[in-house]
Structure 1
């Protein structure tokens, strides 16, 4: 007797057709790559950022991408973003909390106001967005929340990094585990991605300077920094059915930086 295998094939596992995603910090850098990848996999992607002009230009070139001007530190903007997705598509399946900003590398340069501002963008905004998504999700719906952290949240990267940035990104990892524990039985999965060193606005000048670029090469097992697109697969995996039994997990994409 021939056994019938009902397991979906590889393509189906990563197919996001008919699903709705929100990606914050989507106007450039890694966030733009995440938005493009989820849209290419079939999702309708609400790409959120403060720079509306950049979002509009990207949306013209990427089918399935909806530009939304959003300041993630504004509760009004956060709620409007989530509510718009649900109103226009009837659902919200994926949230990628990517919006972030760096702080000064020297702890003695940190001010109380500046430290709080970094936490507000990098940690608190994602928490409040996740809570609003969870509180408006029907009982029968499955949701994947992907929080973007950093190797700076796992290990010291002095003299690059900074106290406020490290605190915010380490906080993202603790928050990910806790929300996964609270919401897992409701079908809401919460995971984190930890990118290593990539050439983006956040690391402006890192790879142009031979001293700092050499530092990255020497301390990364693959002997180089990450290139565009090399984190996208991790986010797609966690956003899709390919990771349906994964929650509370931290997926490190750093070329071996933290494994040394």
Structure 2
């Protein structure tokens, strides 16, 4: 049994990995991580989620197709209004996700997003006005940051928010299990922007919707992997009684 202090130190040491080594992961290790993830709590033990594991050729096909679509979107954005309208002639490139991924952050939460974005891009050496650099970093998302494994997480649409909650509890256990084995992980909402691309690679039951992906692999020595997001004080999240 680990001590509370050991758990606190372990949990605090986990961080999102954004650059991976190409080193393959033993399939048994992937199975062990998924088995650990299944110990997460679930609404009425329904386990209202499914996962698709992409490695090898499937992983490469998905990456190549997402990069192709992102390149078309990036070109359209750089062309102003005319470029965006031109994207209508390439409907295959228009992001269509199972959940609404493109929405502004709520006013009271937006400063947190701007802060971490600025800090992360500073570590990456990409200036705010460097459009090409920012586009290249976005493209790195669709290379799964070089990870040899991308896990796609799907939630049953029949339970709404409870399915997504189940899936996210599963994902947290998955990432902690990976961390315990010396692996890194990064949850990727960006890969959910083209859900049909993902769906055609798996025999997925009709009522499951893509929530996000998780890049999985061994962390590289890139400086971005030393980046530590701010841990908010408890006072920012605890609601006072009336």
- TM-score, scaled relative to structure 2: 0.24
Question: Of Structure 1 and Structure 2, which has the larger fraction of its residues in helix?
Answer: 2
Higher RCO structure, 1 or 2 (CA under 8 Å, sep 6+): 2
